[in-house]
Amino acid sequence: MEGQSVFAAASGEVVYVDDDFENYSKLIIIKHKNNYLSVYGFNKSILVKQKDKVYKNQKIATIGSLKNNAVKLYFEIRYKGEPVNPLNLLPNLKTQ
């Protein structure tokens, strides 16, 4: 839903905030330890600025919509510049 909160995946430093990438609208990139980056696109409002220190689960933006009014959040994790599957970074969950 448009306007919902977007939270930082982990603690780090905001290294990019802008809307230069038309394909991603308003974009935030956070640098984390061990060469990881998290990328958040299609934001409606951005609540952080470049060089801000953020903590895990901190509200950093609100979800926006595309030109066709589709509500969307773009989320990506990169390691040393290459995209990785974020599910591989989550702890294993035991199923019953």
- For the segment 8-58, what is each residue's pLDDT rounded down to a tens digit? 999 999 999 987 767 778 999 999 999 999 999 999 999 999 999 999 999
DSSP annotation of 94: P
Domain span including residue 36: 5-83
> Is 96 within a domain?
no
pTM for the model stands at 0.87
> Is 95 within a domain?
no
> Is 27 within a domain?
yes
> Is 92 within a domain?
no
User: C-alpha 47: how far from its chain's center?
Assistant: 12
Query: The CATH number of the domain where 61 resides is what?
Result: 2.70.70.10
End-to-end CA distance of the chain: 31
> Is 38 within a domain?
yes
- 1's CB contacts (< 8 A; 6+ apart) are 63, 71
Give the total number of structural domains in the chain: 1
> Is 63 within a domain?
yes
